[in-house]
Amino acid sequence: MFEINPGLIVWSVIVFILLAIVLKRFAWKPLLASLEKREEHVRGSIERAEQAKQEAERLLEEHRKELTRAEEQARGIISEGRTLADKLKAEIVDSAHQQARKMIDQAKAEIERDKEVALTQLRSEVANLAILAAGKILEANLDEAKHRKLVDDALRQLPRN
């Protein structure tokens, strides 16, 4: 069935060697150059992707730091606001207490003045009544200035409460 033909084998080997030489000279060099060029392009793309990845990671880290700083500033502002609010609250409460004390003091002073006025009016009334009573009791006509002096002296000797 199969026959080995030595001439065909020799010619096949010669044609194969010639084809390999021609391919090596004209096809392998351009193919290898093209593959090397493609390999360089892929390698460059990978390096650029690595650089882009590193830059993205650096930017992400910077953004995280900025976010952390912003959060700290926000906490500081909130804390400062609370402190200020507490201080204002204390000032308002203190001011209200001072106003209340002032009003109480004014009311006490007014009460004291009214008391003095009432006591003065009462003394005057008592003096007038005493003069009238003394005048009726004595049935004598002493002059009013002497009566008033006597009553004032008597009133001065009374305790002041």
Q: What's the whole-model pTM score?
A: 0.42
Tell me: the pLDDT tens digits for 8-30?
889 999 999 999 888 888 888 78
Sequence-distant (≥ 6) Cβ neighbours of residue 141 within 8 angstroms = 135
SS3 annotation, 47-112? HHHHHHHHHHHHHHHHHHHHHHHHHHHHHHHHHHHHHHHHHHHHHHHHHHHHHHHHHHHHHHHHHH
- Tens-place pLDDT, residues 71-80: 999 999 999 9
